[in-house]
Chain A
Amino acid sequence: MAMFKNRDPSWNAPEVSQSFLGDVLQLSCAALFLLAIVVPPAQGVWPLPQNLTSSAERYSLSPREFNFLYDKGSAVQPGCTILDTAFKRYFRIAFSGYSGGKPLTGNEKSGCVSPGGSSCGSAPLRALVVNVQKGGCDGFPDLNSKEDYKLSIADGLGSLSAVSVWGALRGLETFSQLVYQDQEVTYYINKTDVVDFPRFAHRGLLLDTSRHYLPVRSILETLDAMAYNKFNVFHWHIVDDPSFPYQSPTFPNLSSKGAFHPQTHIYTMTDIKRVIEHARLWGIRVIPEFDTPGHTESWGKGQPGLLTTCYKGSVPSGTFGPVNPMLNTSYQFMSKLFDEISSVFPDSYLHLGGDEVSFTCWKSNPDIQQFMKKMGFGTNYRKLESFYIENLVKIVTALNKNSIVWQEVFDNAVKVPADTVVHVWKGSKKQYSQEMSSVTAGGFKVLLSAPWYLNAIRYGQDWKNAYKVEPLGFNGTAEQKKLVMGGEACMWGEYVDATNLTPRLWPRAGAVGERLWSDEAQTSNVDTAYNRLAEFRCRLLRRGIRAQPLFVGYCDHEYEGI
């Protein structure tokens, strides 16, 4: 039956070599919480801060007294939408489990619950005082946003300082993870110093709302969990072959004909605004992907004439291929659509796709053949693809947006502006490393996703594979490595919808979150990461995120839904 000891072929970590209950218990979060009384609990922060020191000295926090405050010298003050809402949110998160009960008793106030002794008599922490150097609470995060922060908990004083509100958000998250509960009664935080900043500026997660429609609630919940993992980019693969849920005011037929259902399976402007605003409040950018010229079957339903007519012999076969690249009407349509998209989505980047273009339909079409001749492309359909992409990039550049494209666009030597970002998604470690090398040698900025296709599930602790990836592990100069902006975890939607999205994403995506945020040298050990991640997963549960287990064990508060 269970083959407990040898059932997990993917795993050879020391935990499994012994199957003692005691060892297993150590893996569990509750045991870690108990340990935390003796050992500083700060090791539980996920992703690991760049610099963190803490001691056993600790301060109690009372939900009836505790406050988030703006420092007098802070450039932002009450009324700052980002921080006002963040304070409210993080109060609830830091004191999860608090139900507004009775005032603390004298005993608990003294903080002398543990026999450890060292913590006794220290003052309570009454406030976290936040200082932001630069104003700006109504804007959107972007690639250059400063996410650095400093957090100090000492002498009963908590202070958080950051250049921008975006850094303050990251610091609040860290703060909330430092708070723990002793015996389910009193909240504590240890004396701690954190100086933190992200290793990579672009830390993204891709959701695919075309292969399955994801209700807005699923997306918002994912954004919450992203913030807990310090992700800062939501790559919204919003449309694709199977369905077109984006409701375009300019071209309403796209969704009324191309969505799974024109009313229940679409994203209205209101929905999209809600997603963007929710993301903004968490310091997350929303980058939409409108993938062309392939992956566009659903577009053709609401926009007749957009797609290439495929031929069988000398007659149209009734099926359609990629966007028709030889018609002016195609580009007129794209201009209008992308004009709309650029105003709907405030981020300065758009993802233009450009992957997996199948040439069979183009080849079958006599008009396309003629066009190829006219353009002198010979039989090289890559040139036709390039022709299309170049035109599209021109359109987008004229709209003052930067472009992100899948790696084929680079592989096919499309002429694109120098600041175009190439998104690497293909192949084995060797293959993607080679690709990273070539792309950066070409002077392009690059994003890595190839090792982080989280939809590709397998038995066991596959988070470890994601964790062990080294994004800068390719051959290249220091200059080349600077071109790596970060990466994205991808959750393609073939087998994923609202029923299984959340447990499939979390905590597996957390492995990518830490790889993109934390210092490489400090996070090279998967076994120590295991303990922190297992604890963090229990925190996610406590916050209402249906994160699945890493391995055997338990959380104090299990998920209570189905």
Chain B
Amino acid sequence: MAVMNLAVLLLAASVCFCSRHKSEKVPKLVNSQYGSLWPLPQSAQISVTAFQLSRSGFQIVHAPKSSAGPRCYLLGEAFRRYFEYIFGYSKRQNKDRKQSGAGAEVSELQVLITSSAPQCDGYPSVSSDESYQLTVDQPTAVLTAPEVWGALRGLETFSQLVYKDEYGTLHINRSEIKDFPRFNHRGILMDSSRHFLPLKVILANLDAMAMNKYNVFHWHIVDDQSFPYQSPLFPELSKKGSYHPYTHVYTPTDVKMVIEFARMRGIRVISEFDTPGHTQSWGLGQKGLLTPCYSGEKPSGTFGPVNPILNSTYDFMTQFFKEVSSVFPEAYIHLGGDEVDFSCWKSNPDIQKFMEQQGFGSDYSKLESYYIQRILDIVTGTRKGYMVWQEVFDNGVKLKPDTVVEVWMGNTLEEELQKVTSAGYTTILSAPWYLDYISYGQDWQKYYKVEPLTFNGTDTQKKLVIGGEACLWGEFVDATNLTPRLWPRASAVAERLWSDKDVRDIDDAYSRLSQHRCRMVQRGIPAEPLFVGHCDYEYGGL
């Protein structure tokens, strides 16, 4: 969809801006019964009874019966973070503020983890339980969740229920919320190869992801343009392949920090090491890895995809992926496998000979499959699962049953989902959510209106769609513009992936999302505006 429509959209955009202030249909701001909740919980009952909260008279604590306690640092940090989110902007509130006559107060949020294995020190996974229940009453509100992952989501919801009245007093209404995600895999792809993304930007966006209940950071860490991942085993890769070997790399410490920061927010970090295409930068630090291209009978001096006919290639990949699988605790690695250009392989006489030997004829997709198959076997040997871009499936490579196929081609989205799921593979979709494709106006609506399960298929097939990802490819994006370009546009995708499929009212969404974006701004995230209007606290961090 994204690819096909793009041409049309661009055409339309180039025709005219007939009116200076032309814009797409602007939704109505309504007074949503759900306030500023985003993404909308599966079930929320919010009464009109409001209680007060005060900085000095409120705390977030472990419930006495919780299986998590003071040693659950993940929750301890989250309590502090959400306390700051709630009160950070009202520091001058009078501590001695008298309770008004009717002003009942919520003085405590108790967090109750019910599972005997609360997961305080674990890593989130595709099967993590993110469900929670939240009861807001006075004097005590209770957040119940089987695992800490649900508690994190519930804390975000609690913080979104708090609002300020005209006098600066904080309130929260009596509420009953039961919530769980519609899809388990809700990801954001950031690309640190086309442009290097300083750590600070990545961390800030992990914060923003948590505010939107995202749970996967798909780290497209290397590609043709640069190789910023510093490999302890193969230090030459980043030394030669990064934009700069000191200022434009991710050291092992950096990577650890990202992983831990994400874990604390219930976010998985899935690294992508895309091969055999998209690997120009690999070749700079690993001689002999890429295929030498030929011009006539002589090497042209340029290189193509990874050389699939050499044992040395597979030796290298074995060691490299062994390292990657220990650096990234996440159970899945993304192996890429997209957009392999065959022209270089075709030009190379050794490759031609190999093709003959293998009986591939002139079908280079067989060579590609041959390569991928061996890489998959290597990764299987590290006891990791893998994700791949759709071409790998399309080319008929034999995949493990737990493989996740990522569908990114828009023009064949529905058929592809149908095929992948009927073959029994789990899948995620990113085709409709290429957020790097910008256009004028309220494009968040387009992302919001996507329904992932409209393809023809049985219920069993539909269950194999485990989620989706918003992709922000880096050709035109770096630290200067990433955050405002991502938010709140990615928030639209977040609600589609978390909330019930019937949550589709654009006016209601617009009203909640406008407030949600102001909340992100207030929390220090430069989320861009949806349309004309203002926030009480405008972005101050220029």
Q: Number of A residues whose C-beta is below 8 Å from B?
A: 71
Whole-angstrom CA separation of A7 from B23 in the bound complex: 25
Whose C-beta in chain B lies nearest to the C-beta of A211? B532
Least distance between B21 CB and chain A CB atoms (Å): 7
B542 touches A456 (CB 8 A): no
B17's partner among A355, A456, A541, A561 (CB-CB below 8 A) is A456
B338 touches A500 (CB 8 A): no
B473 on the interface (CB 8 Å rule)? Answer: yes
Would you list which residues of chain A between 41 and 79 have a CB under 8 Å from chain B?
A: none
B542 touches A562 (CB 8 A): no
User: Given the known A-B contacts A2-B338, A499-B484, are A9 and B479 also in contact in the complex, defined by CB atoms under 8 Å?
Assistant: no
Least distance between A217 CB and chain B CB atoms (Å): 5
**Cβ of B220: which chain A residues have Cβ within 8 Å of it?**
1-2
A427's partner among B16, B201, B441 (CB-CB below 8 A) is B16
Least distance between A445 CB and chain B CB atoms (Å): 21
Whole-angstrom CA separation of A217 from B428 in the bound complex: 43
Least distance between B68 CB and chain A CB atoms (Å): 31
Would you list which residues of chain A between 318 and 340 have a CB under 8 Å from chain B?
A: none
B13 touches A456 (CB 8 A): yes
B472-510 interface bits toward A, Cβ cutoff 8 Å, 1 = contact, 0 = none: 011111111101110000000000000000000000000
Q: Among the listed stretches B136-144, B164-172, B277-285, B365-373, which one makes contact with chain A, having 4 or more residues with CB under 8 Å of it?
A: B277-285
B526 touches A460 (CB 8 A): no
A553's partner among B195, B483, B484 (CB-CB below 8 A) is B195
User: Given the known A-B contacts A1-B408, A499-B521, are A459 and B21 also in contact in the complex, defined by CB atoms under 8 Å?
Assistant: no
**Cβ of B274: which chain A residues have Cβ within 8 Å of it?**
1
Whole-angstrom CA separation of A215 from B534 in the bound complex: 12
**Cβ of B478: which chain A residues have Cβ within 8 Å of it?**
548-549, 554, 558-559
B475 touches A498 (CB 8 A): no
The A contact surface, by secondary structure, is: loop
B10 touches A24 (CB 8 A): no
B479 touches A8 (CB 8 A): no
B339 on the interface (CB 8 Å rule)? Answer: yes
The B contact surface, by secondary structure, is: loop
**Cβ of B338: which chain A residues have Cβ within 8 Å of it?**
1-2
Whose C-beta in chain B lies nearest to the C-beta of A557? B247
A3 touches B200 (CB 8 A): no
B280's partner among A20, A28, A427, A553 (CB-CB below 8 A) is A20
B180 on the interface (CB 8 Å rule)? Answer: no
**Cβ of A503: which chain B residues have Cβ within 8 Å of it?**
480-481, 484
User: Given the known A-B contacts A7-B473, A502-B542, A561-B200, are A427 and B18 also in contact in the complex, defined by CB atoms under 8 Å?
Assistant: yes
A478 on the interface (CB 8 Å rule)? Answer: no
Whole-angstrom CA separation of A211 from B20 in the bound complex: 13
Q: Among the listed stretches A121-129, A259-267, A366-374, which one makes contact with chain B, having 4 or more residues with CB under 8 Å of it?
A: A259-267
Would you list which residues of chain A between 1 and 39 have a CB under 8 Å from chain B?
A: 1-5, 7-10, 19-21, 24, 28, 30
A28 touches B529 (CB 8 A): no
B248 touches A499 (CB 8 A): no
Whose C-beta in chain B lies nearest to the C-beta of A10? B10
Least distance between B494 CB and chain A CB atoms (Å): 18
B534 touches A265 (CB 8 A): yes
Q: Among the listed stretches B70-78, B432-440, B456-464, which one makes contact with chain A, having 4 or more residues with CB under 8 Å of it?
A: B432-440
Q: Among the listed stretches A91-99, A106-114, A488-496, which one makes contact with chain B, having 4 or more residues with CB under 8 Å of it?
A: A488-496
Given contact pairs A3-B3, A498-B542, a sample of 8 additional A-B residue pairs in the complex whose CB atoms are under 8 Å apart: A21-B283, A455-B440, A458-B438, A498-B526, A498-B539, A503-B480, A549-B195, A554-B248
Interface of B toward A, CB cutoff 8 Å: 3, 6-7, 10, 13-21, 23, 191, 194-196, 198, 200-201, 204-205, 220, 223-226, 241, 243-244, 247-248, 274, 278, 280-281, 283-284, 302, 336, 338-339, 341, 389, 406, 408, 430, 436-441, 471, 473-481, 483-485, 521, 524-534, 536, 538-542
A-B contacts, 10 listed (Cβ < 8 Å)? A1-B336, A1-B406, A2-B220, A4-B475, A9-B10, A500-B484, A503-B484, A548-B478, A548-B480, A554-B226
